[in-house]
């Protein structure tokens, strides 16, 4: 790790702790400017990356409980910053920075984890399929959905309140709300960037590893 990255992470950690001491919720993170970390500067953010978001994931996970940091920042904003069109970024990312927009990934197919080839399909601007274990589906402004489009895997943005999307509550052992998302010809738009699905998969796994490592530390104490 370079000294510059280490210094930035330390600064982020200090700001996160101070913010959570004052107000340990989503509004508190927004008012402290922490939701703007992965948002490019031209859209009102800091233009930082996964190392800084990982610090936020660790601190929030240990002190604030359930907040959609992994979903919105790690899987949402970082992916949009890397693979979204200029118009998509302009429409979505400023709201992430202010806390008005929540994003969440819908990556899990029935019987699979984060698949290389999803059963959900995208054709003629519409999604068809089923995703399970989706967190913050009801609160989200948009879902990021990997789908098969011919011979390639794309990531599509879809409004969970739109026609063709049904949210089915599913019980979880940890008590947090999750949904099965049924997509029946739901209107969607794809992220045009190269390897958007790879970006989403890698960032999702990396963020989950950060969260799991923090959980292990907490359980051992």
Higher pLDDT, residue 151 or 16:
151
Q: What is the pLDDT of residues 44-78, one digit of tens each?
A: 999 999 999 999 998 887 775 689 999 999 999 99
d(C-alpha 18, C-alpha 13), whole Å:
9
Buried b (16+ CB within 10 A) or exposed e, 203-213: bbebbeebbee
**24-40: average pLDDT:** 94
d(C-alpha 150, C-alpha 204), whole Å:
24
Say what the pLDDT of residue 177 is: 86
d(C-alpha 191, C-alpha 213), whole Å:
30
Say what the pLDDT of residue 218 is: 39
Q: Is the pLDDT of residue 91 over 70?
A: yes
The two beta strands, 178-187 and 126-135, are antiparallel
Evaluate whether 3-101+198-220 and 103-192 have a shared fold.
Answer: no
Q: pLDDT > 70: what percent of the chain?
A: 89
d(C-alpha 102, C-alpha 72), whole Å:
6
Domain range list for the chain = 3-101+198-220, 103-192
| Number of other CB atoms surrounding residue 51 within 10 Å | 14
Say what the pLDDT of residue 1 is: 61
Nearest to 133 by CA among 115, 151, 117: 115
Nearest to 144 by CA among 152, 131, 178: 131
Choose the CATH number for 3-101+198-220 among 3.40.640.10, 1.10.3720.10, 1.10.540.10, 3.40.50.880: 1.10.540.10
Nearest to 187 by CA among 128, 108, 100: 128
CATH architecture, range 103-192: Beta Barrel (2.40)
Q: What is the pLDDT of residues 170-206, one digit of tens each?
A: 877 665 689 999 999 999 999 999 899 999 999 999 9
d(C-alpha 166, C-alpha 130), whole Å:
10
Q: Is the pLDDT of residue 216 over 60?
A: no
């Amino acid at each position: 790790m370079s000294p510059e990255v280490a210094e930035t992470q330390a600064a982020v950690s200090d700001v996160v702790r101070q913010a959570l001491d004052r107000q340990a919720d989503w509004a508190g993170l927004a008012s402290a400017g922490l939701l703007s970390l992965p948002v490019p500067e031209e859209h009102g953010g800091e233009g930082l990356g996964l190392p800084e978001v990982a610090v936020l994931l660790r601190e929030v996970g240990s002190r604030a409980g359930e907040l959609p940091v992994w979903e919105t920042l790690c899987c949402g904003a970082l992916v949009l910053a890397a693979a979204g069109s200029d118009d998509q970024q302009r429409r979505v990312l400023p709201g992430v920075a202010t806390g008005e927009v929540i994003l969440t990934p819908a990556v899990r197919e029935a019987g699979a984890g984060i698949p290389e080839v999803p059963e959900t399909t995208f054709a003629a601007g519409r999604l068809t399929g089923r995703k399970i274990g989706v967190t913050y589906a009801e609160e989200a402004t948009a879902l990021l959905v990997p789908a098969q489009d011919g011979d390639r895997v794309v990531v599509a943005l879809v409004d969970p309140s739109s026609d063709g999307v049904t949210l089915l509550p599913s019980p979880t052992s940890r008590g947090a709300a999750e949904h099965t998302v049924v997509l029946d010809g739901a209107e969607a738009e794809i992220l045009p960037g190269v390897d958007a699905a790879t970006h989403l998969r890698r960032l999702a796994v990396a963020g989950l590893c950060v969260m799991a490592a923090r959980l292990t530390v907490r359980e051992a104490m």
